A = this chain, B = another copy of it.
Amino acid sequence: MPTQHIVQSYDEELKKLSTLIVQMGGIAESQLAGAVEAVVKRDSDLAGEIVQSDAKIDAIRNQVDDLAIELLARRQPMANDLRLIVSALRISSEIERIGDYAANVAKRSVALNQAPMVRPVHAVPRMAAMVQALIKDVLDAYITGDAAKADAVRDRDEEVDELYTSLFRELLTYMMEDPRSITACTHLLFIAKNIERIGDHATNVAELIHYTVKGEMPAEDRPKGDDTAYAIVAAPGGKQ
């Protein structure tokens, strides 16, 4: 059968789709780890590598999307398979965004390295570790099709938001105390925001896993802990 090597079974194609998603997620996770290492170790060369590597994620995203659309056209999937394929399209977009934010963290670390070290940087690896665990667990939930595990990831995102809010306040206070730190602290603010957003995207993936497994999106509103949009931090002198 000469076609044996080119014609894959439907199951194999669906498996291929999942494998690509997991591969993409694994790279995104290590991109975040690398970006945070670049921040902590003030390693601009590593930061440059991370920025370059973002193209790898984009390439796999294109593969996922091409395969998903091909499967929609060729296999005309129904029910579970349709959800799986539509979710793959969406999950690939979420993971691509995670990669973009990791690359942005790396970019900003280069700017950060040109200014003296500022103390609040210590909170970044802690926040990143929480978010990396979310990515890891959401990928596990994806592999095993475990909706309960996905739901747990969604709940844990609140802790990330709380840590972000406290870092936001700390950075504002630090800038007020030492205006020479403003450039560095502003980059740190955006680095922290990027990591918080990665947590949101991991949570979006968790919701899509719930949808794939259960056939509907999780019901209640996601817990929201990032209230920095409303945050007012008084200047040390007391006057705003």
Residues of chain A whose beta carbon lies under 8 Å from any beta carbon of chain B: 69, 72-73, 76, 78-79, 82-83, 86, 89-90, 93, 104, 107-108, 110-111, 114-116, 172, 175-176, 179-180, 182-184, 186-187, 189-190, 193, 229-235, 237, 239-240
Contact = CB atoms under 8 A, between A and B. Distances in A.
Contacts of A240: 114-116, 180, 183-184
Nearest to A75: B76
Give the interface SS of chain A, mostly helix, strand, loop or mixed.
Answer: helix
A115 B111 CA distance: 29
A116 B232 CA distance: 12
A95 B231 CA distance: 26
Which 10 A-B pairs have CB atoms at the shortest separation, nearest pair first? A107-B229, A76-B76, A179-B179, A108-B229, A180-B235, A115-B240, A183-B233, A175-B182, A176-B179, A111-B230
Contacts of A237: 180
13 contacts: A69-B82, A73-B82, A76-B76, A108-B229, A111-B232, A114-B240, A172-B186, A180-B239, A180-B240, A183-B231, A183-B233, A183-B235, A186-B189
Contacts of A108: 229-230
Given A86-B72, A111-B231, A232-B115, A172 B180 contact: no
